[in-house]
Amino acid sequence: MSSTATIVSLPDQATARLPKRSYLNNEDGLLSWLLTGDHKRIAILYLISITFFFFIGGAFAGLIRLELLTPQPDLVAADTYNKFFTMHGIIMVFLFLVPSVPATIGNFLIPIMVGAKDLAFPKINLLSWYLYVVGGIMVLAALVLGGVDTGWTFTTPLSTHYLNTHVITAALAIFVAGFSSIFTGLNFIVTIHRMRCPGMTWFRLPLFVWSNYAASLLMVLGTPVLAITLVLVLLERVFGIGVFDPTKGGDPLLFQHLFWFYSHPAVYIMILPGMGVISEIISTFSRKRVFGYTAVAFSSVAIALFGFFVWAHHMFIMGVSNYSALVFSLLTMLVAVPSAIKVFNWAFTLQKGSITFETPMLYAFGFLGLFTIGGLTGVFLGSLGMDIHLTETYFIVAHFHFVMVGGMLMAFLSGVHFWWPKMTGRMYPESLSKLAAVTTFIGFILTFMPQFILGYLGMPRRYHAYPPEYQVLNVLSTAGATVLGVGYMLPLLYLGWSLKYGAIAGDNPWQATGLEWQIQSPPLTENFIEIPIMDHEAYDYEWLEQKQKNEVTTVG
């Protein structure tokens, strides 16, 4: 679908300048950043820090794939390998995926999208970034001091009584990082409830706000349970008492229950904001209101609600009662439906649109395909009998990487490209970024498709060495991983380049309808000169045309 048409309209580069005053330059000095209350600056701080951790986690992924190139345990020792995948898991889940879209793009946009000058609690917003950093540093500390090899799931009694690595440091790190996400979620909920500008009714909110709202609910209600679980693990480790230790009368399954009560909703914390990004982008690049706005909005809330009641599907073979296994399997099937609804609505948003294929749209298409696969393979695992054979194998690894990397990360990159001109005021090189999008997609398929087959063949996850007959597929997967790596390095390079040399973007390069596109880019510290009044639906392109006509006439 090579199409030359584009909606990008940049100001005349000869005359265009970045605005004199913007949130980037209204205060100078490192301190002005470290003590800022401005949600946009905090978003940038988050963006930098999660990118940092993403590449650390990615490095570990690379090392894992490298070790798995051959069946023999030849690159590193077994315990080193275990530390690799533990670090990969902890960093990617708690330090990248959970804060990725909400804390960066969400932090930057939600106040603007609801027409407010800032989040409700700027100081708490900053605090949550510092908590994140402290958590991150503690993880790095655990890593430097010799690593931790519990796996990111901290399964008891392994983590409490059978390992002498830095479990305590890592668990505390996650505890702290957890509070950072609680505060982010809390801030969003209050802002969305209390600080919407006049005329901004719930059903005029962009879908990005809806999905972040749903994710915030999960953060606020789920994370504390993880916190108390980790506290119990710590106490058990330190004082040797046994809430989770069968020899002392505890029940290890209780840990599983409490842990997954957070960690299953956590995957919706990760994916929901990504879905919000996709709604914005598909609408913008097909010049159309999102098909079935209310359906998409409510499906986000439905996912958040059902997402809380399916956690035991991580325990089907662990000896939960077979009756409650049935219940949880049924609920799992129900939670799959809203996701399907979203996908179809996005697809039909394209219908009768006027579609162009800029980079964010390419990433969004990538998301649609990969997320569909990820979601459907989730149904495999939700189905009791199938789960027995598939769980704890590479099938499940492939499944959640399709949802988390293929879905969430694609959405994140899509969003970063889409709002980059708004954040920095400059465009990125289009052709190069298109190349990156395609590379990522191909690399991803090549990396994770073979793992589905490996999984059904029975290769268990977290294996350092594996039977030789699995090698071919593992080599494929590793090859794909290198391509994927390139695909992720490219944006880092050209986005960095564009900071200085990118074309001036102007207020609204995409001709998008969102409030954030009606203000200058990069925005003022207070976002709006005057608090706007929302007088039209979200994604109202006629309104946009009207407005642009008026501008032309007023200018002329």
Partner 1 sequence: MAEIAHHHAEAEDPTNVTNPEHGSHHIVTPRVYAMVFGTLLLFTAITVIAAFIDLSWANPVIALFIACFKAVIVILFFMHVKYQSRLIKMTIASGFFMFISLIVMTLSDYISRSWGLW
Partner 2 sequence: MDNTVATEHPHTHETAVHAEHTHVSLPQHRHHFETVEQQREAGSFGMWLFLLTEIMFFGGLFFAYLLYRNWYYDAFFTASNQLSIPLGTANTAILITSGFFMALAVWCAEVRKKDMLVWTLILTTVFGIAFLGIKYVEYHEKWEKHHIPGAHFDISEFVNPAAHGIKEKPLPPDMAQRTQVFFFLYFAMTGMHALHMIIGVGLLFWLIWRARRGDFSAGYVAPIENFGLYWHFVDIVWLFLFPLLYLINRHPLH
Partner 3 sequence: MGISSVLWQFLVKWLHSSALFPVEASTIAPYTDALYFFLVAVSLVGLAFVTILIFYFSLRYRKDKHPVAVQIEGSTILEATWTIIPLAIFLVVFVWGGLLYFRIYNPPPNSMNIYVVGKQWMWKAEHPGGQHEINALHIPVGQPIQLTMISQDVFHSFSIPDFRVKREVIPGRYSTVWFQATDPGTYHIFCTQYCGTLHSGMIGEVTAMSAADYKKWLDGSTSGTSLAQNGERLFASMGCNACHNGNATARGPNLAGVYGSKLTLTDGSQVLVNDAYLRDAILNPSQHVTAGYAPIMPTYQGQISEDGLIDLVEYIKQLQSNYRIQQTFVTADSNQASPTTPSVGTNQDSVKP
Instruction: Name residues contacting partner 2, limited to 171-190 (CB under 8 A).
Output: 182, 186-187, 189-190
Provide the CB-side half-sphere exposure for 257 (13 A, CA): 12
Q: How far apart are CA 332 and CA 379, in angstroms?
A: 8
Q: Is 199 in the site for partner 3 (CB under 8 A)?
A: no
Residues from 523 through 542 that contact partner 3 (CB under 8 A): 541-542
From the list 135-143, 188-196, 280-288, 422-430, the region that binds partner 1 by CB under 8 A is 188-196
Q: How far apart are CA 62 and CA 53, in angstroms?
A: 14
Say how many residues touch partner 1, by CB under 8 A: 26
From the list 210-218, 232-240, 260-268, 337-345, the region that binds partner 3 by CB under 8 A is 337-345
Residues from 301 through 330 that contact partner 1 (CB under 8 A): 308-309, 312, 319-324, 327
Taking CB within 5 to 8 Å according to partner kind, which of partner 1, partner 3, partner 2, none is near residue 357?
partner 3
Shortest reach from residue 543's CB to partner 3, in Å: 11
- Cα dihedral sign, 38-43-44-46: positive
DSSP-based three-state secondary structure for 173: helix
Shortest reach from residue 290's CB to partner 1, in Å: 22
Q: Is 400 in the site for partner 3 (CB under 8 A)?
A: no
Q: Which H/E stretch holds residue 272?
A: helix 252-285
From the list 36-44, 175-183, 311-319, 525-533, the region that binds partner 3 by CB under 8 A is 311-319
Taking CB within 5 to 8 Å according to partner kind, which of partner 1, partner 2, partner 3, none is near residue 321?
partner 1
Q: How far apart are CA 157 and CA 233, in angstroms?
A: 9
From the list 228-236, 287-295, 310-318, 432-440, the region that binds partner 2 by CB under 8 A is 228-236
> Are residues 295 and 344 in contact, defined by beta-carbon separation less than 8 angstroms?
no
Q: Is 377 in the site for partner 3 (CB under 8 A)?
A: yes
> Are residues 451 and 479 in contact, defined by beta-carbon separation less than 8 angstroms?
no
Q: How far apart are CA 249 and CA 246, in angstroms?
A: 5
Residues from 441 through 460 that contact partner 3 (CB under 8 A): 453, 456-458, 460
Taking CB within 5 to 8 Å according to partner kind, which of partner 1, partner 3, partner 2, none is near residue 323?
partner 1
Rank residues 72 and 550 by Cβ distance to partner 2 and give the closer one: 550
> Are residues 115 and 515 in contact, defined by beta-carbon separation less than 8 angstroms?
yes
> Are residues 300 and 210 in contact, defined by beta-carbon separation less than 8 angstroms?
yes
Rank residues 430 and 526 by Cβ distance to partner 2 and give the closer one: 526
> Are residues 474 and 454 in contact, defined by beta-carbon separation less than 8 angstroms?
yes
Residues from 82 through 121 that contact partner 2 (CB under 8 A): 111, 116-121
Taking residue 322's Cβ as centre, other Cβ atoms within 10 Å add up to 9
Rank residues 284 and 433 by Cβ distance to partner 2 and give the closer one: 284
Q: Is 222 in the site for partner 2 (CB under 8 A)?
A: yes
| CB-neighbour burial class of residue 510 (10 A; exposed 0-12, middle 13-18, buried 19+) | buried
- In sequence order, what DSSP letters do the residues of 427-468 get, joined into one string? PPPHHHHHHHHHHHHHHHHHHHHHHHHHHHHTPBTT-SS--G
Q: How far apart are CA 329 and CA 402, in angstroms?
A: 21
Q: Is 556 in the site for partner 2 (CB under 8 A)?
A: no
Q: Is 229 in the site for partner 2 (CB under 8 A)?
A: yes
Rank residues 210 and 444 by Cβ distance to partner 1 and give the closer one: 210
Taking CB within 5 to 8 Å according to partner kind, which of partner 1, partner 3, partner 2, none is near residue 309?
partner 1
Q: Is 119 in the site for partner 1 (CB under 8 A)?
A: no
Give the x/- contact pattern for partner 2 in 520-549, rule: CB under 8 A: x---x-x-xxxxxxxx-----------x--
Shortest reach from residue 249's CB to partner 2, in Å: 5
Shortest reach from residue 67's CB to partner 1, in Å: 37
Q: Is 333 in the site for partner 3 (CB under 8 A)?
A: yes
* Exposed e or buried b per residue across 389-428, where buried means at least 16 C-beta atoms within 10 angstroms of its C-beta: ebbebbbbbbbbbbbbbbbbbbbbbbbbbbbbbbbbbbbb
DSSP state of 504: B
Q: How far apart are CA 8 and CA 5, in angstroms?
A: 9
> Are residues 239 and 306 in contact, defined by beta-carbon separation less than 8 angstroms?
no
Among 18, 124, 163, 221, binds partner 1 (CB under 8 A): 221
Rank residues 4 and 553 by Cβ distance to partner 3 and give the closer one: 4
Taking residue 533's Cβ as centre, other Cβ atoms within 10 Å add up to 10
Nearest in space to 158 (alpha carbons), one of 80, 68, 91, 256: 256
Taking residue 477's Cβ as centre, other Cβ atoms within 10 Å add up to 23
> Are residues 432 and 501 in contact, defined by beta-carbon separation less than 8 angstroms?
no
Q: Is 423 in the site for partner 2 (CB under 8 A)?
A: no
Give the x/- contact pattern for partner 1 in 476-515, rule: CB under 8 A: ----------------------------------------
Judged by the rule CB under 8 A, the positions of this chain that interact with partner 2 are 111, 116-122, 124, 182, 186-187, 189-191, 193-195, 198, 220-225, 227-229, 231-232, 235, 239-243, 248-251, 254, 258, 507, 515, 518-520, 524, 526, 528-535, 547, 550-551
Judged by the rule CB under 8 A, the positions of this chain that interact with partner 1 are 193-201, 221, 225, 253, 257, 261, 308-309, 312, 319-324, 327, 533, 535
